[in-house]
């Protein structure tokens, strides 16, 4: 574990200089506001409240006053601490050489490094997920005493309950301790220990659920909030990506999230060295083909552990593909270790050249990671740019119609009047009820996309455009602010009136 400690320290040192000290997106603000006053009814943070993560955030806030810096520091620490359980998992299955390689790749992988500097819950959730897998792996170890295996099974149950309190979307990880519990019960016939582990899951989950119900006011209120949130949250499976078919979607998901974000292969906004990463990944795939020809997989000897790894990757992988926003790579962070493990194992197939290939891969991935976190540190996100521009360049009578950008604008510059909507009918109602004059109407491209009214383009023109790194800001890396054309201001009210009786064609989507 000394080597793991050195790598964990390296991971922490790589992240600390680039910690985010301000908001970059919607969730950042939710968590920061929640640290000041935890209130689900005002989306501080939004449902499901992330109670376990917020408890850790409160502790970090006692040490570091700035909420964004406290949250980012928590992410950096969690990302670094994840080295210990992942090292244990890989070491027990593939040996020390692979364990060192995977731990090093995790320490410098672009997705791990970037999320390890942001005020988000993903790094903390990944730490608990890897602890869950590590404790379940030890539960399967038949060389251990029954008491030791039982304690690790109980620990798995506690980790699962805590994990749900970080992100409910980690539901699929229940397959990991379930498999470990079944194998433990089969070996020992001590099914009571399995029941105790299940009780631990329910008790821990009940604890944070009850705390949230108290915060909302009642169990009924919490249930109503859950229905309201999930109704919009999953109304369009997979979020904002609009690929034509499942094959195209799968290609985008693998290429964007796993390879470009996870390893650092080429993608818009990526460093040119990423082509070297792509080449080494191809060599890794070749290495696996060589292993298959040599019949070196030997899955049968570690069948139980292999199934546990499948329980780690397959259920949540399916959930991440079908039910999460494929534009946001952070959802696959708990599975990144498996990709790094496969990549390292493929390169280590080349016994003499493998270590040199790994060294080159580490250097190339480090360069990609460094360019991304430096960009994040030095340049404001497009949504922040929009907020600053609106505060300094728009008239005081301006009403800015936005979607997800509204949260950041209101937080940074509450004096700006913003309206969050996506439906054409809601927009017309707002304009008429507020009696907004044409010269005071401003819209972002995300709102216009929701309107699905091609005729509106005759009446508007671009006022300003804000761009950022598409790798860092996949959903809002290109924001355009529009205004009503001066020559169309007299015809604008007539256009709104003429469309009052038209059927709705808008399609509101929740980007989360």
pLDDT digits (tens, 9 = 90+) for 177-188: 999 999 999 999
With a cut of 50, say whether residue 44 has pLDDT above it: yes
Give SS3 for 237.
coil
Phi-psi region of 268 (alpha: psi -120 to 50; beta: other; left: phi over 0): beta
The residue-averaged pLDDT of 453-465 equals: 94
User: What would the 3-class secondary structure string for 231-290 be?
Assistant: HHHCCCCCCCCCCCCHHHHHHHHHHHHHHHHHHCCCCCCCCCCHHHHHHHHHHHHHHHHH
With a cut of 60, say whether residue 366 has pLDDT above it: yes
Of 125, 115, 83, 120, nearest to 340 by C-alpha is 83
Distances (CA, A) of 186 to 31, 160, 176, 183: 43, 21, 16, 5
Distance CA 393, CA 280 (A): 48
pLDDT digits (tens, 9 = 90+) for 368-421: 999 999 999 999 999 999 999 999 999 999 999 999 899 999 999 999 999 999
Instruction: Return the residue matching tokens 């700006």.
Output: 416
Of 149, 171, 148, nearest to 160 by C-alpha is 171
pLDDT digits (tens, 9 = 90+) for 268-307: 777 789 999 999 999 999 998 888 877 666 676 788 999 9
Instruction: Return the residue matching tokens 């292969």.
Output: 265
The predicted pLDDT at position 173 comes to 97
Best-predicted range by mean pLDDT (71-85, 421-435, 446-460): 71-85
Q: Give the strand order in the sheet containing 478-484.
A: 417-420, 399-402, 441-444, 478-484, 460-467
pTM to 2 decimals? 0.91
CB 79 within 8 A of CB 115: yes
Lowest mean pLDDT among 29-33, 54-58, 170-174, 220-224: 220-224
Best-predicted range by mean pLDDT (207-216, 242-251, 322-331): 207-216
* Token pair for 114: 């970037």
With a cut of 90, say whether residue 14 has pLDDT above it: yes
Lowest mean pLDDT among 105-109, 176-180, 214-218: 214-218
User: How does residue 501 score in pLDDT terms, banded at 50, 70 and 90?
Assistant: low
Name the β-bridge partners of 420.
402
Q: Pairing between strand 399-402 and 478-484?
A: unpaired
With a cut of 50, say whether residue 239 has pLDDT above it: no
Distance CA 192, CA 434 (A): 64
What does DSSP assign to residue 169? Answer: G
User: How does residue 236 score in pLDDT terms, banded at 50, 70 and 90?
Assistant: very low
With a cut of 90, say whether residue 331 has pLDDT above it: yes
Q: Side-chain half-sphere of 507: how many Cα atoms within 13 Å?
A: 7
With a cut of 50, say whether residue 235 has pLDDT above it: no
Of 182, 43, 208, nearest to 128 by C-alpha is 208
The residue-averaged pLDDT of 75-103 equals: 96
């Amino acid at each position: 574990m000394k080597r793991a400690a050195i790598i964990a320290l390296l991971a922490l040192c790589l992240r600390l200089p680039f910690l985010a000290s301000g908001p970059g997106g919607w969730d950042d603000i939710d968590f920061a506001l929640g640290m000041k006053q935890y209130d689900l009814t005002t989306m501080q943070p939004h449902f499901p409240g992330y109670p376990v993560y917020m408890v850790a955030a409160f502790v970090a806030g006692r040490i570091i006053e700035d909420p964004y810096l406290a949250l980012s520091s928590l992410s950096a620490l969690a990302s670094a601490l994840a080295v210990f359980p992942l090292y244990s998992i890989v070491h027990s299955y593939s040996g020390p050489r692979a364990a060192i390689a995977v731990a090093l790749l995790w320490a410098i992988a672009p997705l791990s490094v970037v999320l390890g500097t942001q005020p988000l819950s993903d790094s903390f959730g990944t730490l608990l997920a890897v602890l869950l897998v590590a404790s379940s792996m030890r539960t399967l170890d038949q060389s251990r005493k029954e008491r030791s295996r039982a304690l690790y099974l109980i620990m798995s149950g506690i980790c699962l309950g805590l994990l749900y309190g970080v992100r409910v979307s980690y539901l699929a990880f229940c397959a990991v301790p379930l498999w470990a519990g079944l194998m433990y019960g089969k070996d020992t016939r001590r099914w009571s220990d399995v029941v105790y582990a299940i009780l631990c899951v329910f008790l821990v989950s009940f604890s944070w659920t009850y705390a949230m119900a108290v915060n909302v006011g009642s169990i009924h209120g919490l249930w109503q909030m859950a229905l309201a949130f999930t109704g919009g949250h999953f109304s369009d499976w997979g979020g904002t990506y609009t690929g034509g078919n499942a094959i195209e979607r799968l290609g985008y998901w693998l290429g964007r999230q796993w390879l470009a974000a996870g390893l650092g292969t080429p993608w818009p906004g990526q460093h040119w060295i990423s082509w070297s990463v792509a080449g080494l990944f191809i060599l890794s795939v070749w290495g696996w083909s060589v292993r298959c020809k040599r019949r070196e997989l030997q899955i049968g000897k570690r069948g139980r552990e292999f199934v546990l790894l499948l329980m780690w990757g397959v259920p949540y992988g399916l959930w991440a593909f079908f039910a999460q926003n494929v534009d946001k790579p952070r959802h696959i962070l708990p599975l990144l270790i498996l990709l790094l493990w496969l990549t390292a194992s493929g390169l280590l197939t080349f016994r003499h050249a493998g270590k040199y290939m790994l060294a080159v891969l580490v250097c190339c991935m480090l360069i990609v990671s460094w360019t991304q976190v430096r960009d994040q540190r030095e340049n404001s996100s497009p949504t922040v740019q929009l907020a600053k521009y609106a505060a300094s360049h728009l008239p005081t009578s301006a009403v800015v119609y936005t979607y997800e950008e509204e949260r950041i604008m209101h937080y940074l510059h509450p004096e700006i009047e913003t309206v969050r909507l996506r439906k054409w009918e809601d927009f017309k109602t707002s304009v008429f009820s507020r009696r907004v004059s044409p010269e005071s109407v401003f819209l972002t491209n995300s709102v216009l996309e929701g309107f699905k009214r091609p005729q509106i383009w005759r009446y508007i023109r671009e006022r300003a455009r804000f761009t950022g790194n598409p790798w860092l800001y996949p959903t809002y890396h290109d924001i355009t602010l529009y205004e009503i054309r001066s020559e169309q201001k007299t015809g604008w009210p007539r256009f709104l009136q003429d469309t009052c009786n038209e059927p709705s064609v808008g399609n509101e989507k929740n980007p989360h």
